[in-house]
Amino acid sequence: MFQRRRAAAGAAAADGSDKGERWREAETKARAVLKVVKSSFARIIRYFVFEQAVEETDATVASDDNTVIIVLGASGDLAFKKTYPALFGLFKNGFLPKNCQIVGYSRSAIALPDFHARISSKIKFASETERGLLPSFLARCTYVSGKYDDMASFERLNEFVSAVEVPGAARRHRIFYMALPPSVFIPASRGLKAKVYSNSGANRLIVEKPFGKDYDSSKELSVALGTDWSEDEIFRIDHYLGKEMVKSIMVFRFANLFFGAIWNRNYISNVQITFKEKIGTEGRGGYFDEFGIIRDVMQNHLLQILTVVAMERPLSLDAEDIRNEKVKVLRQVQPIKMENVLLGQYVANDDHTEAGYIDDPTVPRGSLTATYAAAALFISSERWEGVPFILKCGKALNEAKAEIRIQFRDVAGSLYDNIGRNELVIRVQPNEALYIKLCSKEPGLSNLPVMSELDLSYSTRYRDVKIPDAYESLILDVLREDKSNFVRDDELDAAWKIFTPLLHKIEKEQIRPAPYKFGSRGPPGTDAFIEKFGYKRSKDYKWGFHL
């Protein structure tokens, strides 16, 4: 809309009239109004603008608009394990636009029935009614093969996409989901812009991590994408930002008075953000070895969670206001010191039923790549000065979970001996929950304090609610043009500036990770490392969910 107004303003200025000035005034006022109304309600309105008949000031967005989602890398693991099941989830709940087609694109020559069988293999059904919707969903899913570095292939893709679009559509929106390795990001994005870009609707480019390997490679990728695509069109996806409990953090923080009062260094001793996997690399060691656990998990998933936990209250729920605060936090993170880092690499378990990392034939011999990392980050701000944010992530551990654990300080002048500290724990996965560890009187005739919890477990409180997959939630955000949960270019720059010096030091000095057994809690010294930053473990306490 604004592009058309600018064109009109330019034409008016060129013929010497006052129309150009009036157009500029109108645009300024329109932008001011838009800034005010961009709220949660405004996002819902924008979604229905995208899907249904709503009038705009200078154009009509009608129900016969056409939307095509092009999934690049459609034959790969990410597409059939995550992307297509997420799209089916949106379809069954009525969130895909009415005239929406899904086109798969990859280098593999696959017959359509075989492609349908592949993308259906990971779709889960809660009922036979849902299963009955699958044929209608697959009828929207087509496939075409082609190269990622060949303009002729993209011309054929454009012809294919144009053929599946509904004839006579008022506007033609195209969403490009790049489920691709980073080596082909740039040629694929250029081919899409040159040959498949829609000139009569919205274009959105979804880019999957990894966004480079360090600051320089990330910047190179950002510059290359920015040559052809505007920042407004690029959606850098970090699926952890789409997880239910991560999306809930802002509500917990800013809609509850008591959390706001204690969310600072005066009350909080330390924060732990943890990601644990039970599995190893499972034959993907060659890929993993190129990146390592810090790049694969810590620099993106855990750091993004940190920003939401630590950010100041944004001016509004507008995406840019939220992301502005996240960037401020990242710029306040102090350089990471090597003495505040613990690295590990898993080895075979005692009976050798689980192999070690370097036993994987796809891993280079003698690899020093870490499969476990813990790092303490400090934020130079009035709110967080001196509070350690301990990020922990690893493979081949004793359990699979992701959680945020906020531990509060000791009670000053306590009347009771040996009481545990209060903690707020946000369980991201599995078994989504928020619980607060607190002391209560032991039931009965005793007056002794005992550690217990206030427990908001979603499986019991929201028994009849289906929590959507993170990809399902984020693709819906793309359809709604809500960028709150996507990574902005300056946010990415700031994140890499934190970790690039550390990564280069580890690689240059060939720092050897400590071995830990497959299925253990991590490298020896993990508990001592965490305790060094003030964490005090509650003895004999176990969260009630597991009792």
**Catalytic site positions:** 301
Long-range interactions of 117-120: CB distance < 8 A, separation 24+: 118/75, 118/80, 119/74, 119/79, 119/80, 119/84, 120/84
3-state secondary structure at position 94: coil
Q: Which of 391, 452, 393 is nearest to 419 (CA)?
A: 452
What token pair was written down for 119?
């993308």
Q: What are residue 402's DSSP bridge partners?
A: 275, 429
The residues near 356 (Cβ < 8 Å, ≥ 6 apart) are 345, 346, 347, 348, 518
Tokens 């950010």 identify what position? 311
Q: Are 493 and 215 in contact (CB under 8 A)?
A: yes
**Cα separation of 114 and 117, whole Å?**
5
- Widest distance between CA atoms in the chain: 91
Q: What are residue 520's DSSP bridge partners?
A: 397
Give Cα separations from 461 to 243, 318, 432, 434 (angstroms).
18, 29, 11, 11
Pairing, β 372-378 against β 388-394: antiparallel
Q: What are residue 437's DSSP bridge partners?
A: 423, 453
What Rg, from alpha-carbon coordinates, does the chain have? 26
Order the strands of the 234-237 sheet from edge to edge.
141-145, 100-106, 66-72, 172-178, 203-208, 234-237
Q: What are residue 176's DSSP bridge partners?
A: 70, 205
SS3 readout for 501-525: HHHHHHHHCCCCCEEEECCECCCCC
